[in-house]
Structure 1
């Protein structure tokens, strides 16, 4: 049975009307005062930060206000500047550093000249007014990706664990914010950012969950949308239960790239001389760790964590050598080596807890998830067979099953609006698979064109060096020109 909101919280939202764009007049926001960014934001030449007050409930613009932290990497060529480019790295997670990261990863100079590149922390996350569920370290262990369930009993056990997480979230000290932390309201915050920057339209570059945020914004505010670049795309429903289940397809798509890499380097890693042998090693090592986990100072490496580590390290080509070394160590009963550049995680325990909690607030408020534990048990049993690598994780239960009903219906992505969307997508993306991107492309109709890249991993622009995709994306952002039809780019010259 779906949980209901606590009485006091329910009373606060009874009058909320499901008005997609929110037409109530709001007080004009004050001009931004730019200054130094928070101390934990990576120093970057020219990156400035500011705060903007927005309504917690956009239907009540004069009510409680929350703060949104914003960053700016201003164009240094005012004669070439054409507007602002709002950005989002996905997650949902902090985006203050993202403009500097894009510049670091060779966002073309003509793009940097054309726009003030804007980052921000989504409502509820980071330096924007944060939320919390008060989760323990154990409750954050798997982040927001469900653990692998070996059978129906594992699903039932995990259901009790996530039910407790939902209880904590809906009774935490920030529970009064819970109904309003959503993708749609984050999109409305973006429109307030547009307004305070004095722009009639915004351009946008978003990745992963950021593609859903961009799709929602350009659906709610089509005439205020200029050029929208969506990279590594979620399906039209965003991060919902079908999206969780798509992880299973994504791993099946991407894993052969790792198997080929490990087999080609069998002299170094000894994981199998053929891709088939490496695949067999995956199942054997998972079973070995289920029987006898590897104990380490930083945790207990069982088969569930091994599967999650493998999934997460399929995101990029540069991560494959580390993943092979991690397999090698675990096979020998040793913990994996530190990740390259690892400095102890995402920050303080409070930062880590906020990241996990903020994601639950958003994804569980965006859509209705199945409420029956039996539904998850059936789907886990089916996906374990259909997608043996990761299906029994992707189909597992999340706290959203025990969440209060959202106060607003999901935004329906459609084809009404200007033809100003360019999607870029790897063919073998483990986190946002091509199957979901195709559904979003279909929903957009003629509003969008899609550029697919014969590559594996999560993220295309500007993080890879596929000249075909780079040219299409840069041309779109700087001139507005898109391919006349969907474009298929062949593999990049370097291995991925």
Structure 2
């Protein structure tokens, strides 16, 4: 027997059927990145010394990747990691990884880890996907490496067996009732917490950003690299910042794109709360587009008319939802409309679909319901996102505190109606996290480049500035005068893209923070 097969393997639940080492192979729903779940059976916290004791990662065996539409050069492997880094001789699990080798071996500089957003996102197919958007000089220098984080199929998978209705994005990101009440949200949190306690198995309690960072360092070692470079996006910026804090001498060049607030007192709560400002920052751009002459999806003659039009429609749908067969829930109510607005503001390319939905709803109809991923995949993504959010930091349990926060948010930010400060599933969390959040500091080598759009619904500029301040001299920041989530090679501008590409290709950063108009 090999070292891996001799180890005790963990059992995880997927749906309501126990599985041993079996994983899902379906696509994820990016809209569920705000999912939450419950921590189970917490024991002693991980310590720095305990986390350093796992046996060396065995060499990776690269084989053909499963799935369609992948670059034929992409190869896949399985990384063996401890489930609990405080007990490295205990159960182990598998992390799926992928790689496209440097396109010019004579120019090879090292490895570029593609760190996905989420929590609940995967970069397993990114070497074949967004990695191919990188300039040739970057692809020549790096092996592009992706992975499915622990808990996310086809890595050893986990789910909570939630009810179908609880997989709705507007339930996972709980919106208050039309009158502002959160009693229903609190009941939902308790019910979903109970489902996780019954169904999730032991892996759920070991999902965390710190453990993902430890898995990445084990991957670095398995790749035979002394250092790695990385491109982290959205939640991946927090993963990258935590990796940089835990393993500062293992970082070569790190790009953090669309940045999360690293506040160690709130962590994930601050990210959700930032949506209220993010929507306010980005809605004017949608309103300008939706009032532009010649736009076939035009909603109003003036940009100033779009906001009251939207708020009036949401209130009307609160009172009289429109049936929406095939959707979850099967109605277009005010909160589903508000959630759709938030999701649509991630990128200007989403504006036409949002405008069409608004136009239809004003006439009392709906377009065809969007096709959802398979429920098995939704269950998996929801559990991974949930477990990480709830394990990273302790959430308040006080119903009174949530009620006050929601009321304040509703008054100040009517477009998001209190959701960003509401009681998510973590409010029903039965125990404290296994370890304190990692505090990001300015101690260590200066090898980080932040890139941030000025108007970003998911990771607003204010949060990025807090990460910039926490990193201090270790980082330089490129602020891009653009709108949308994901700046580099996506929703940014040529100035920002050139600056990041130069850093990845040469290691040259701007001497100080810059603004790309």
Structure 2-normalised TM-score? 0.88
Equivalent in the alignment of 1:135: 162
Equivalent in the alignment of 1:80: 107
Tell which deviates more after alignment, 16-25 or 256-265: 16-25
Note the residue ranges of structure 1 that are not aligned, 5 or more in a row: 491-496
From 485, 488, 493, give the equivalent of 2:512: 485
Equivalent in the alignment of 2:97: 70
Q: Deviations for 1:409-467, whole angstroms, at most 9, x for unmatched residues?
A: 00001101111111111111001111111111000001111111111110111114611
From 289, 292, 305, give the equivalent of 2:317: 289
Structure 1 residue 126: deviation in Å? 1.9
1:220–1:5: structure 2 CA closer, same or farther, 3 Å change rule? closer
Q: Deviations for 1:101-150, whole angstroms, at most 9, x for unmatched residues?
A: 2134x211111111001100111112111111111210011267523324
1:305–1:17: structure 2 CA closer, same or farther, 3 Å change rule? closer
Residues of 2 paired with 1:469 and 1:338: CA distance?
Answer: 36
From 255, 274, 278, give the equivalent of 1:250: 278
Q: Residue 63 of structure 2: SS of its match in structure 1?
A: coil
From 179, 183, 193, give the equivalent of 1:156: 183
1:145–1:440: structure 2 CA closer, same or farther, 3 Å change rule? farther
Residues of 1 paired with 2:420 and 2:402: CA distance?
Answer: 10
Equivalent in the alignment of 2:207: 181
Residues of 2 paired with 1:18 and 1:54: CA distance?
Answer: 15
Residues of 2 paired with 1:52 and 1:4: CA distance?
Answer: 26
Q: Deviations for 1:281-319, whole angstroms, at most 9, x for unmatched residues?
A: 110110111122121221211000000001001011111
Structure 1 residue 214: deviation in Å? 0.3
Residues of 1 paired with 2:38 and 2:55: CA distance?
Answer: 33
Structure 1 residue 257: deviation in Å? 0.3
- Do structure 1's residue 357 and structure 2's residue 388 form an aligned pair? no
From 390, 406, 411, give the equivalent of 1:385: 411
Residues of 2 paired with 1:111 and 1:30: CA distance?
Answer: 28
1:55–1:218: structure 2 CA closer, same or farther, 3 Å change rule? same
Equivalent in the alignment of 2:4: none
1:265–1:345: structure 2 CA closer, same or farther, 3 Å change rule? farther
Q: Residue 169 of structure 2: SS of its match in structure 1?
A: coil
Residues of 1 paired with 2:499 and 2:49: CA distance?
Answer: 31
Equivalent in the alignment of 2:453: 426
- Do structure 1's residue 119 and structure 2's residue 146 form an aligned pair? yes
Tell which deviates more after alignment, 291-300 or 480-489: 291-300
Q: Are 1:182 and 1:361, in contact at CA under 8 Å, matched by a contact in 2?
A: yes
From 40, 48, 73, give the equivalent of 2:75: 48
Q: Are 2:95 and 2:149, in contact at CA under 8 Å, matched by a contact in 1?
A: yes
Residues of 1 paired with 2:156 and 2:116: CA distance?
Answer: 19
Correspondence list, 1:87-126, <5 A: 87-92=114-119, 93-104=121-132, 106-126=133-153
Equivalent in the alignment of 1:398: 424
Structure 1 residue 268: deviation in Å? 2.6
Q: Residue 296 of structure 2: SS of its match in structure 1?
A: helix
Structure 1-normalised TM-score? 0.92
Cα root mean square deviation, aligned? 1.9
Note the residue ranges of structure 2 that are not aligned, 5 or more in a row: 1-36
Q: Deviations for 1:256-291, whole angstroms, at most 9, x for unmatched residues?
A: 000000011476335211111111111011011112
